[in-house]
Structure 1
Amino acid sequence: MSWSPRAVSSPLALAALVAANVVPLVGVVWFDWSLKALLVAYWLESGVVGLLNVPKILAASGSGEGGSSITATINGRQVDLSPPENPRDELHFYVSNAPIAGFFAMHYGVFWVVHGVFVWTFDAFAVGDVGGVPLVPVGIAAGATLLSHGGSFVVNFVGHEEYRTISPGAQMSEPYRRVIVLHLTIILGAFLVAASGAPAAALVVMVVVKTALDVGAHLREHARANKRAEKRERGGTPTDRDARDASA
Structure 2
Amino acid sequence: MLRSPRSASSPLALVALVAANVVPLVGVVWFGWSLKALLVAYWLESGVVGLLNVPKILAASGSGDGGSSITATINGRQVDLSPPENPRDGFHFYQSSVPIAGFFLVHYGVFWAVHGVFVWTLDAFAVGGVGGVPVIPVLLAAGATLLSHGGSFVVNFVGHQEYRTISPGKQMSEPYRRVIVLHLTIIFGAFLVGASGAPVAALVVMVFVKTILDVGAHLREHAQARKRAKNRRETATETEILDARDTSA
- TM-score, normalisation: structure 2: 0.88
Pairing of 1:58-77 with structure 2 (within 5 A):
58-66=58-66, 70-72=70-72
Q: In the TM superposition, what whole-angstrom CA distance separates every residue of 1:4-59 from its partner, at most 9, and x where no partner exists?
A: 99773100000000000000000000111010000000000000000000000000
Partner of 2:25: 25
Change (3 A) 1:71 1:186: same
| 1:127 and 1:199 in contact (8 A); partners too | no
The one-letter code sitting in structure 1 at the alignment partner of 2:165 is: T
Change (3 A) 1:6 1:71: closer
Task: State the 1:65 CA deviation.
Answer: 3.4
The one-letter code sitting in structure 1 at the alignment partner of 2:96 is: S
Query: CA–CA distance in 2 between the matches of 1:4 and 1:91?
Result: 13
Unaligned runs of at least 5 residues, structure 1: none
Partner of 2:151: 151
Task: State the 1:73 CA deviation.
Answer: 5.3
Partner of 2:230: 230
Change (3 A) 1:77 1:46: farther
Pairing of 1:203-242 with structure 2 (within 5 A):
203-235=203-235
Figure out how many residues of one structure are paired with residues of the other and give that number: 240
- TM-score, normalisation: structure 1: 0.88
Identity, in percent, stands at 82
Q: In the TM superposition, what whole-angstrom CA distance separates every residue of 1:50-102 from its partner, at most 9, and x where no partner exists?
A: 00000000000011334855424589873320110110000000000000000
Change (3 A) 1:126 1:30: farther
Unaligned runs of at least 5 residues, structure 2: none
Partner of 1:108: 108
Partner of 2:93: 93
Partner of 2:185: 185
Query: CA–CA distance in 2 between the matches of 1:94 and 1:75?
Result: 20
Question: 2:198 aligned with 1:202, yes or no?
Answer: no
Task: State the 1:125 CA deviation.
Answer: 4.8
Moved more, 169-178 or 227-236: 227-236
Query: CA–CA distance in 2 between the matches of 1:104 and 1:120?
Result: 24
SS state of the match for residue 79, structure 2?
Answer: strand
